[in-house]
Structures are given as structure tokens and as C-alpha cells.
Chains A and B, each alone.
Chain A
Amino acid sequence: MKFTPARICQFIFLALFLVLFVQTEYRGRDEINAAVNAFFRVDPLVLFSYLLAAKSWNWLLLPALLMVMATLLLGRFFCGWICPLGTLLDLVTSKIRKSAPIMALKGNTKYWLLLPLLSASLFNLNLSGLLDPIAILLRALTFLLYPVIGLAARGGWVGLYSAIGERRDAVAPTYNLIRDNLLPFRDTIYPLAFFSAAVLIGIIVLERFETRNWCRNLCPLGTLLGWLGRFSPFSRVPTTTCGDCGKCRELCPTSFDRDVLIKEECILCMDCQRDCPHSRISFLPALKLKGNGPLLPERRLLLGGMAGGLLLALPTRFRPPERQSRLLRPPGVRDEDDFLKKCVRCGECMKVCLKNALYPAAYQAGLEGIYTPLVIPRLGYCEYNCTLCGQVCPTGAIPSLQVEVKRREVIGKAVFDKNHCLPFAGKIDCIVCEEHCPIPEKAIRSREVQVMGLDGLVKTVKEPYLVEEICNGCGICENVCPLETKAGIEVFAVKNRTPIPLQSAGHELY
């Protein structure tokens, strides 16, 4: 492997990606200044699908707009210089023996992916995150690889304790250093873990057929960047292989198997320039801006793409109604449809969530909601003073809120199940839920009542009740309910998520 400027740049960005990934975690401060969302902020696919779906502007997307302009100026450099998935493929591809390219992927396959995706966005179905290369990489890391690393490290650490007991303390400082800076704080198993990893592995397996197979033939972000890059004044000269040499064919990772430079596919790695035996190659601004043929290879692509998007957008909207009741979104999300238009499904909120309350929806939110974050209170609750999910959301689908505001945002409302809840069903004291309710005025309260115990004797029991007006649905009550499996109190989704009133307003209630 040669350390060309492009290569070095790739490694820097891959390292940055990994560092930011690890940093996307609570490390003792309420604010996360740098998170892996930076990569989505510069992602033009995220930009276009957001603009088409939400039909509104968002300043969080400004870096992506700058990336669009840079691509218009320079070409498809992102893929050869920045994209961490591309770098990963470059790292493994030399170890994978190649057979012949898959012809079915040639032609316009990539446009048949990109255009329906963008057009579906226009019809309010924003699925671009499903095929966005950075999201694919991030999800595989978040849902499978990182938890596995964490579980393995912790498993070893616990194993050491059962083997040597307190003497383990001798090596604790080393372990603590790794734990505090590298490992996930909590061991979490995510749904869709294997599926997420399988997509990434599938992309790597595609390298069996040709170098950068995914990037050239499928990646919607790459296709979009390539299309934008057509307008760049910079071009490689000469634009074809030379009759007497043809070395470009083996040097080029993407385009030269057809003996002519396909500008949309050139990722500007400049390996050809560097290694040309005759030093004939240069990347120069072309004197005249001549187009590379028609804007789209076929006219039916546009119509077909639109139709495909529409066909995709409508049927996927089916949602099983019984699952709606537990469709709990992160704090600050007030409108389900608006949320679905903006969510990239990148998984960052789930990675950063302090108490691991957030999990990717597999089917709960219907097909259109796959990978969107769901609060599952029995597994983790929304920490009252934490605002991390909003901070790392790249598109503001989960708004970034001040903690005073976030505390009042409604996720859902708790409901007692008197058939399970101990004071009602068993006539015994409990009120662990009241104890944990973080609302200063207590959304869960209790009153002493005379009841007949199960033994037939009259006794006094504290019965809990909910003050719905000030419940923000954080789910800690359901989380800590000491009943096994099903809780005696559960949070249900509500349409009206008007924030609860300011502190002290709850004093007069009940």
C-alpha cells in the first residue's frame, strides 16, 4: 500500500470517524462537542432527502450544502478522500480475490436506487439513511461490533474477578483507563444487530467481483456525488487510456475498465497520475466546460424513479395499530410524521442514550420506520437531566433542547395496570415508581387507603395514582417497577405531546 496524499487523508478521516464514534457517549459532561454526527452533517444524500421530505431548510445542514458546492467544483473527491466505508473497502479489497464483475449491476442500477429513494422522500418517505454508506457503517458498529467488544472486555474482566477476586484490583487502573475511554459504559444488545452487520458484510463480499463494487454500482451517496461531480471544471487529461500503455486500467480503482474515464466514477485518488510510467497525466481545469453527455443516461429513469418512489412511499405507510400504543419516540419529538421525514436512522441517538432507553424499531413502526429510535422503558428510561440524543442527532429530527425544556417534553403518559400493580393486586405497599418519579412535584403520588388484604383483614396501604398533566413519560416508573417481566405501570404513546407545565404549576393538582 502506498501512502499517497489521498490515502493519508482517508486514514485521517477513518481515524476521526472512529474517535468521534467512541466520543459519542456520556463522559462526565452534559455536552458533547464533537460527535460522529459531523459525518452526516456533510452528507449531501442526507441534505437532499431532508429537503425533499421535510420541504424546509435547516441550518444544521449547511456543511452538507458546502460539500455539494465543493463537489460541483472539484468532483467526487469525498469517496476517494473521506468516506470511511470507502477506506474500509480499500483496506480489505487487496485481500479479496476478484472474479468477473457482476454485469447485472452495471448500467443504470445505481440510478434505479438513487432516484426512487429521492422521489420517495418527496412523497414523505425518507429512507435514504437505509442505504447511506456512513449510516450503514455506523449501524454495524453501533448495533453489533461495539457491543460485542464491550461484552467481551467486560466478560473477561468479570471472569478475572471470579478467578482471582479482589487481587484483580492490582490491574484495575489499566482496565479503568480502557473502560473510561474506549469501551461502551453499559452492555446492550440491540435488535437488528445481525441484519445491520450483514449489510456491511454484504458490501465487503461484493469486493469479490470488482474493486469498489458498492461505490461504483450501488452507493446512492456516491451516485449523487458523481452526478454532481460531472459539473466540475477539473478533469483528468488524457480522458482515455493511451494506445501504447493502458496501465491506468490496473491502477484505477473505479473507472478505467472501459478504457475511457467515466467522470462520475472518478474518485480523484490520483493514483494514475502518480504512477503513470510516462508522466502524461494531469488533473486540470478544462478549458471549456463540456458536458459528459445527457444529464441522465435514460429519460425513463426520471419517470421510473418518480413512479418507484411513489410506489415505495405509499404501501410502506401501513402500521399495525396495536403497536402504535407503545410507539414512544425520544424526548422533543412531537409529531410522528415530521420525525419520520427527518430521521436518518443513523443510530447515533441509540448509541449515546445514557440509560440505553433507545432501540432501533424493527417492525414496531411499520416498514417505513425501520431503524428509527424507540424508547423501550422496561429496558431503559429517559434520564431526566440528560439531553444527549438531541445533541447528536444530525438533522434535528430529535431537537437539541436546553435541559429545562427537555424535562418538560412529553414522550408518553404512564398508566397503572391495577391487575399487576402490587398495592392494587396484592394489597401490599410498594410505590417504587413514586420514589423514582423525577418530576419535582411527583407525577406519581400515593394516598393511604383502608383496604381488605388478601387475608381478609382490613389494613392500610399506599395506593399510587398518576397526575397525568405533569407526567412526561420518561419511563423510569416502568423501568424500576419491581414486578418481574411485565410492569404494573407502563408508558403509552399519546398524540398530544404538549410540554408539561413549568415547575410548581403542579402543586395545586389533586
Chain B
Amino acid sequence: MDRRTFIKATGTAVLLAPVLVRETLAAREPSLVAVAEGTDHAATTRKAINAVGGMKRFVKAGDVVVVKPNMGWDRSSEFAANTNPLVVRAVVEECLAAGAKKVKVFDYTCNDSRRCYVNSGIEGALKGMKNVECKQIEPERFKKTTLNGQFLKEWDLYDEALSANVYINVPVAKHHGLSKLTLGLKNVMGIMGGNRGYIHRNLDVALADVNSHVKTHLTIIDATRILTAHGPQGGNIADVKVLNKVIASTDTVAADAFATTLFGLKPIDIPVTVAAYKRGLGEMNLDKIKIVKA
């Protein structure tokens, strides 16, 4: 073996290593995606959480938990631009029941944050709950964070999301003009500060960069109703489809992959999912994902 061949071989091995490691891991324990269905959205959410092991699996007594819904738009709940407040409340209640010291709920909104918090219904749904904080983003809390990603070397991330013991991602499943769909992986933009529009020029890679840095313990996708067109903010009830489904998984890529099928698409159609899969962030092949109906 000459030097050139050796370098080639080593290079290939290094490149393939994450895939190989993932393959072996996946072989041992396939990603589990729980899908619950029902018109009582709080109960459905609980069923989904229990099917992936219950909240006690993630939240220990005394933990500070961040629940990160999508409430980026000044739209009322039925338009499916924001996460269903009933789902958010159920998740928060489960965290408290599991012994969380504090549950923080926030999103870096696109429209005026006061209106988004009010009109999404989420601020109202959490009002008066003890040890629950639903406060607006304070810009000084964004911390320049080294990502050393393929596209983003560093970015401002929200310190409360980084410092929490448990990070629970609660996106709504909806259409998006650029990324086709916005699901769990894209919901991470709500903890990104700075000129967020900048990352649109290489969105798939940028989201993989951020998601490899932010540890998501649990992803719960709200598909109680989904926005099928004119996303991400919609506004026309004709674009909304009621599914009464809630999806839960510890693997955001797998949860996204399954949620994609609700729109009649394949995971391979969604570049954000593909980029995250290639990065080794999770499983996107539906035949390798264990899907349980809860």
C-alpha cells in the first residue's frame, strides 16, 4: 500500500465512521417514534410521552426544563402556525409531575413577541401555573457559542436553552416555503439570535450544525392540526388539516421523518432531515424506525 492509497483509505474510513457507528448503534436499538391519536389533545400528548418511556425517563426531581414550542407568529391556534397550547400545557404538566423545579417556555418570535405570546394561546394556557415561566426573550441572554459546524462556525444561542437540564422540543408540523416542511429540527431556530435570515442561504447544513450542538432530550411534534400550504405562518383555515396526532421521540430526525409522511412526502424529500441524518443526528429511514401507536 503506497502512501496515497493509505491516505485515501484512512480518509474514507474517517468519513464513513459516523455512519458505521450509527449503523451498529441503530442495529442495537432502533429509534422509537410514538404516535398517539385522539381529540383530547392533552390526553393524546400524555399517551405519546408515556409510549416513549414517560416523562420521568427524562426529567429528574429538581431539574430545570426548557419546553420550546413554536409560537413565532401572530396567529391564533387554529391556523396551525404555532404549537397547540393544549399540547404545550400537557407537556409542562408532565414535567412538573416528574419533579421539575422550574419549567421555562419561550420562543424567539418572528412577529411582535407580545402578540405572539398572547395570540398563540400559549401564554394564556400556562397562566397561573406554579414554577412555570413563560417570559419573552431577553436579547442580552444570547451567548456567542462556538459550533465549529460545516456552515456556522459560531452563532448566538439562548443561554437558558443551553443551561437547562432537560430540553424538550415541541414544534408544530407545518409547511415551509424554503425547507418544504418545518418540524423538530427547524424549531431550533427559536433559540438562535442574531440575523437568523442569514442561515437561509444554507439552511440544511446550518440546522444540522446547530442541532448537533443543542442536546434535545425529547421531541414532541404537534400534529393535532397541520398547516399544509402557505407556511410557515399560513392564515387561511383552508390550508389547515386536522389530524389529532401527537408524535414523540428522543430522536428528532426520526420524529421529523415520520411527521413528513403526514404531508404525503418522504423523508428524503426534506433536505433538512437528510442533512441531519447524514450528520449522524438520527435515523430517517422509516423501515429502520420503530413506530408505535400509543
Stretch at the interface among B110-118, B209-217, B250-258, B262-270: B110-118
B226 to A: closest C-beta gap in Å: 16
Question: Interface size bucket, A side?
Answer: 35 or more
Most chain B Cβ neighbours within 10 Å, of A158, A355, A482, A484: A482
User: In the bound complex, do residue B197 and residue A504 qualify as a contact, i.e. CB atoms below 8 Å apart?
Assistant: no
Q: Residue B4 at the A interface, CB < 8 A?
A: no
Are A429 and B178 closer than 8 Å at their CB atoms?
yes
B114/A482 in contact, CB under 8 A: no
Say how far B279's CB is from chain A's closest CB, in angstroms: 19
Instruction: Please indicate the chain B residues that have their CB under 8 angstroms from the CB of A446 in the complex.
Output: 177-178
A435 within 8 A of B: yes
B233 and A438 form a contact (CB under 8 A) = yes
Whether B234 pairs with A440 at a CB distance below 8 angstroms is yes
**Count of CB-CB pairs between chains A and B under 8 Å:** 88
* Shortest Cβ distance from residue A468 to the other chain B in the assembled complex, whole angstroms: 18
Counting CB contacts under 8 A, is B201 at the interface? yes
Q: Is B163 an interface residue (CB 8 A)?
A: yes
In the assembled complex, which residues on chain B have CB atoms less than 8 Å from the CB atom of A148?
none
Q: Which residues of A contact B233 (CB under 8 A)?
A: 435-436, 438
A441-B115 in contact (CB<8A): no
Write out the residue numbers on chain A whose beta carbons fall within 8 Å of the beta carbon of B141. 161
Give the contacts of A481-497 with B (CB-CB under 8 A). 481-482, 484
Q: Does A442 contact B (CB under 8 A)?
A: yes
Inter-subunit contact A383/B197 (CB<8 Å): no
Q: Is B176's CB within 8 Å of the partner chain A?
A: yes
A430 touches B197 (CB 8 A): yes
Q: Identify the closest chain A residue to B194 (Cβ).
A: A482
In the bound assembly, the distance between CA atoms of A432 and B112 in angstroms comes to: 17
Contacts of B6 in A (CB 8 A): none
Give the CA-CA distance A431 to B231 in the complex, in Å: 12
Are the CB atoms of B200 and A383 closer together than 8 Å?
no
| A383 and B236 form a contact (CB under 8 A) | no
A28–B236 touching, CB < 8 Å: no
Supposing A383-B74, A384-B74, A386-B112 touch, asked if A503 and B236 sit within 8 A by C-beta, the answer is yes
Chain A 371-421 residues near chain B, CB threshold 8 A: 383-386
For chain B, the count of residues having a C-beta within 8 Å of the partner chain is 33
Question: Digit string of A435-466 for contact with B (CB within 8 Å is 1, else 0)?
Answer: 11011111000100000000000000010000
Which chain B positions have C-beta within 8 A of A429? 178, 200-203
Q: Name the A residues within 8 Å of B119 (CB-CB).
A: 385
* Inter-chain contact A435/B232, CB cutoff 8 Å: yes
- On whether A436 and B110 interact (CB within 8 A), knowing A385-B74, A430-B201, A446-B177, the answer reads yes
Say yes or no: A435-B176 contact (C-beta < 8 A), given A166-B163, A422-B201, A430-B197: yes
Tell me, in angstroms, the Cα distance from A422 to B195 when the chains sit together: 15
Contact, CB under 8 Å: B235 / A482: no
Measured CA separation A133–B198 after assembly (Å) = 47
User: Closest approach, in angstroms, between the C-beta of B145 and any C-beta of chain A?
Assistant: 16
Cα separation A442 to B234 with both chains bound (whole Å): 9
Q: Is the CB of A432 within 8 A of B111?
A: no
CA distance A435 to B159 in the complex (A): 26
CB contact under 8 A between A482 and B140, given known A439-B235, A503-B236, A504-B236: no
Q: Mark A131-171, 1 if CB is under 8 A from B, else 0.
A: 00000000000000000000000000010011000100000
B238 cross-chain contacts in A, Cβ below 8 A: 504
Contacts A26-B115, A435-B178, A438-B235 known; list 6 others, CB within 8 Å: A26-B114, A383-B112, A429-B203, A438-B233, A441-B236, A446-B177
